Amino acid sequence: MFKTLKEDIAVVMERDPAVKSKLEALLCYPGLHAIIMYRISHFFYKRKMFLIARLISHLARFLTGIEIHPGAVIGRRFFIDHGMGIVIGETTEIGDDVTLYQGVTLGGTGKEKGKRHPTIRNNVTIGSGAKVLGPITVGTNAKIGAGAVVLRCVPASTTAVGVPAHTARKTNEVKKIDLDHTDLPDPIAIKINELEKRIKTLEESLSVFTEGFKESC
């Protein structure tokens, strides 16, 4: 427990440039408080003490504005920046070194039983206000842009942006935690640019053909 707490504090120190000391991180960071209370509630949840687990998670929601269901499975070095409005559903699975910004929802899409929330692999960054919905998988090293609505699986080492989200493969795989969730490629704009170039090429070819046809006549 204390080893995990020490690691969670170290993550805040590493990923938030605003924090000045470990004591400040421990006392003044609601994201860290939410994670600590989640780990306690998850302890009770695994032992089928569901009411106690839910009461602890409800208290955490009241104190921090972050709602993490005690049934969710969360890995090591999980970081929540600011965090107000974050919702993490019961069957969500989160790997190691994941970062969430405020307003993120890892939610379901209906009343179906069983696995109904996302699986987030290692080293994923999810930007402010993004919604990842349903039993989909976000691959290792993937990034979700701010405000994206993700309804389909996101392959590893790609970005997802837009509503609904579209993915674009990155030229270089991420080797370290990358917290940039705004300066991301726009796959729709890329496709439009490709179409414009193609249309221009076709127009030029058609112009040459037309000129040649006129001369032959």
Q: pLDDT-derived band of residue 37, with 50, 70 and 90 as boundaries? A: very high
Residue length, the chain? 217
Residues 163 and 193 in one domain: no
Contact 93, 73 (CB under 8 A): yes
Q: Give the CATH number, domain containing residue 140.
A: 2.160.10.10
pLDDT at 216: 65
Same domain? 46 vs 140? yes
Tokens of 128: 């402010």
User: Does residue 171 carry a pLDDT above 80?
Assistant: no
169 and 193, same domain (yes or no): no
Number of C-beta neighbours around residue 161 at 10 A: 25
Question: Do 204 and 122 fall into the same domain?
Answer: no
Q: What is the rounded CA–CA span in Å between residue 118 and residue 106?
A: 6
Residues 138 and 213 in one domain: no
pLDDT (tens digit per residue) in 83-137: 899 999 999 999 999 999 999 999 988 777 788 999 999 999 999 999 999 999 9
Domain that holds residue 125: 2-185
Statement to judge: residues 110 and 211 lie in one domain: no
205 and 180 part of one domain: no
Query: Is the pLDDT confidence value at 173 over 60?
Result: no
107 within 8 A of 130, measured Cβ to Cβ: no
Number of domains in the chain: 2
Q: What's the token pair of residue 60?
A: 């955490």
Q: Band the pLDDT of 174: cuts 50, 70, 90.
A: low
Do 12 and 108 lie in a common domain? yes
Q: Tell me, what amino acid is at 187?
A: P
Identify whether residues 180 and 191 lie together within a single domain: no
**Strand ranges (E), 48-165:** 67-68, 73-74, 79-80, 87-88, 93-94, 99-100, 105-107, 119-120, 125-126, 131-133, 137-138, 143-144, 149-150, 158-161
